[in-house]
Structure 1
Amino acid sequence: MKLADEVKKMKAARFSVAAAIFLSVSKVSTALMLNSLGMLSSGVDSLMDVLVSTINFISMKQSVQPADSEHPYGHGKVENIASLFQALFLGIAGLLLIGEGIREALYVRRAPDFGAGILVMICSSIISFWVGRRLARIGKETDSPLLQADSFHFVMDTYTNTGVVIALILAQLQGRIIFDQIIAILIGLWVIYSAFKIFRSSTDALMDKYIPEDIQREINRIILSHSPEIIEYHKMRTRRSGSLKLIDLHLVTCKDKNLDEAHRITDHIEKEIEALIKNSDVVIHVEPCHLECPARKEACKFLYHPESGGGE
């Protein structure tokens, strides 16, 4: 990964922690003053964001460390492990919010004056949306699963904060607190749903699930563009380690090619794939074709007439 991307990821992680602290303190303090469960549930969600963003920041520092003798593929999996814990924390928080919402719904209370709470939640929605969009942009640029998961939290907070605002307004107009409790339960369900999505993405990466099919189609297109110099390819394996995409495959070429020529072709293909797919590491193993290979006659023309096509 480029140094500029690493620096950008670290700055974004620090920014995420600072934003989460500001939002959680403002929402929790206001919720306690107004005795609003909806605001408190949103504030607790933001407190979880503080914990998660802090873990993300620490994990990010570790994940950008270069490969060493004990970790030849680098430390990118740290991002996926941190995302897994992030999902577990969110799931627990969602269950707690639902339980508290149901418990509070059993008690009938009159709604207090929520004017200050409505103002705080509107400001929180605007800030969350801005922070989420910024993290999403940087996460996409650096292909970081941690930043993308973090951005999802903040964007989600925008919707939940808006829901809390609506609930507070309804409670203010109707004089009943039930709307506050309903929105707390809905927020809890939404948090659990987002936790499941992050959990599934993290486990896919930890279990070395193949990279998306659209990327594999691009790899296929690059290789086939070198036909007939390349007779075929097989045993392609792909996986992710944090932001890094690891790709290895076997290429079959004419058995009469010398080592330099075979290396030139594979090196060129590796560079093409790595140029197209950001944060990728490609390893190609070359195999000779069989003597009776039907494509051998066409492929071996490139030994003597390389200007006729393929290759570079």
Structure 2
Amino acid sequence: MPSNGDLQRIALWSIVVAFGIFGLKLSAWWLTDSVALFSDAMESVVNVVASFVAWYALRIAHRPADDNHPFGHHKAEYFSAVLEGVLIVVAALLIIHEAWTALFAPRALEAPVAGLLVNALAAVGNGLWAWLLISTGRKARSPAMVADGKHLWTDVVTSAGVIFGLVLAVVTGWLWLDPVMALIVAVNILWHGWHLVGDSVQGLMDVSVEPEELAEIHRVVEENSVGALEFHDLKTREAGRARFIEFHLVVPSDMTVEVAHHICDRIEGALEKSQPGAEVTIHVEPAHKAKFA
């Protein structure tokens, strides 16, 4: 799993990359005066702001637990993702306003070939960086980094659509395709922003791990609880990179504390291998607390 330092370095470089991509897209719009390319550039403004927010959120999320935050600062990353989603929605509304105006007064594109080549270069750069952010963020279980990567990938898809639409507009002379493509981009951005906010809110509400991972946790506990009578009330939740596992372990009433503790150590060790970094809480109970005996 990538270290905290690795994540923060990548997040810092994301700011640099975002500025570079924004500069390229702004140049493409300046060369062509295209509303669709303007919409693409406006989304890159969001990328710049979101990169700053993600970098700052990662710094906060990786602070150690303190007296006021005994469970850590992991959820700071979800606030970053929520804010990014809101910014995406605002950008989409600005694009819709500009595109709707241009739809009734379409204008010819200036230097379309040069502008489209510059925008294509920006899209390739965005795609490579999005892949790095998503793959690294998933390995590190970082919502902020995954959200940033997914947003960039959406940007790549919309850029490809814009380029295709503008090529078609140049070839056919249908100037109305320019604002129409901008509107399509805006709708796609709105959809992405909505889902990004929804996913982040789920994280803030202590969502459980995925069913496949929950089944794996159940298997590990069952295989390593030899000597106990049963376990029940298995609960999990995720908060950014942190993962919390909690359950009740029922042992024979005459079992010594030392033996029960040994069983708990064995389970915790197995869970640490299966779920690196997970915080495990086991409530040991006497036999009469069994639910499935």
Taking the aligned partners of 1:250 and 1:57, their CA distance within structure 2 comes to: 38
CA distance, structure 1, for counterparts of residue 60 and residue 11 of structure 2: 13
**Displacement of 1:278:** 2.9
Q: How does 1:134-283 map to 2 (within 5 A)?
A: 134-226=132-224, 228-283=226-281
Distance 1:268 1:227, change over 3 A: closer
Q: Secondary structure at the match of 2:229?
A: strand
Q: What's the offset of the Cα at 1:33?
A: 3.5
Q: Is the 8 A contact 1:79 1:242 kept in 2?
A: yes
Percent sequence identity over aligned pairs: 27
Cα RMSD of the aligned pairs, angstroms, is 1.9
Q: Provide closer, same or farther for how the CA distance between residues 32 and 287 of structure 1 changes in structure 2, counting only shifts above 3 A.
A: same
Q: Tell me which residue corresponds to 1:39.
A: 37
In structure 1, give the amino acid aligned to 2:232.
H
Q: Which structure has the larger Rg?
A: 1
**Alpha carbons 1:8, 1:138 under 8 Å: kept:** no
What TM-score, normalized by structure 2, do the two folds share? 0.94
Kindly state the Cα deviation for residue 164 of structure 1 after the two structures are TM-superposed: 1.5
Question: Counterpart in 1 of 2:7?
Answer: 9
Cα distance between partner residues in 2 of 1:9 and 1:35: 37
2: distance between equivalents of 1:278 and 1:145? 17
SS at match of 1:176: coil
What secondary structure, in the 3-state scheme, does the structure 2 residue paired with 1:109 have?
A: coil
Q: 1:25-82 CA deviation, whole Å, 9 max, x = no partner?
A: 1211331342111111111101110001101111111111111111111111100111
Residues 134 and 150 of structure 2 are in contact (CA less than 8 Å); yes or no, is this contact kept in structure 1? Answer: yes
One-letter amino acid of the structure 2 residue matched with residue 88 of structure 1: V
Q: TM (normalized to structure 1)?
A: 0.89
| Cα offset, 1:175, TM superposition | 2.4
- Does structure 1 conserve the Cα–Cα contact (< 8 Å) formed by 2:120 and 2:163? yes
1:64-103 → structure 2 map (5 Å cutoff): 64-103=62-101
Q: Kindly tell me: are residues 294 and 150 of structure 1, through their superposed partners in 2, closer, same or farther at Cα, counting changes over 3 Å?
A: closer
Could you tell me which amino acid in structure 1 is paired with residue 275 of structure 2? I
1:73 match: secondary structure: coil
The code of the aligned residue for 1:152 comes to: K
**Equivalent residue for 1:49, pick from 41, 47, 59:** 47
Distance 1:143 1:112 in 2: 45
Partner SS for 2:82: helix
- Counterpart CA distance in 2 for 1:93 and 1:69 is 39
* CA distance, structure 2, for counterparts of residue 285 and residue 92 of structure 1: 47
Shift of 1:133: 0.8
Gaps spanning 5+ residues in structure 2: where? none
> Are the equivalent residues in 2 in contact too, given 1:111–1:171 (CA < 8 A)?
no
Q: Aligned in 2, Cα 1:293/1:91: closer, same or farther, shift over 3 Å?
A: closer
Which secondary structure does the structure 2 equivalent of 1:40 belong to? helix
SS of the counterpart of 1:71? coil
Gaps of 5+ in 1: 296-312
Further displaced range: 94-103 or 66-75: 94-103
Q: d(CA) in 2 for partners of 1:136 and 1:214? A: 20
Could you tell me how far apart the structure 2 residues matched to 1:101 and 1:124 are?
A: 22
- How far residue 86 of structure 1 moved from its aligned partner, in angstroms, is 0.9
Deviation at 1:242, TM superposition (A): 1.2
How many residues are matched?
293
Give the C-alpha shift of residue 110 in structure 1: 2.8
For 1:123, the equivalent position in structure 2 comes to 121
Q: Compared with structure 1, are the counterparts of its residues 220 and 175 closer, same or farther at alpha carbon in structure 2 (3 Å cutoff)?
A: same
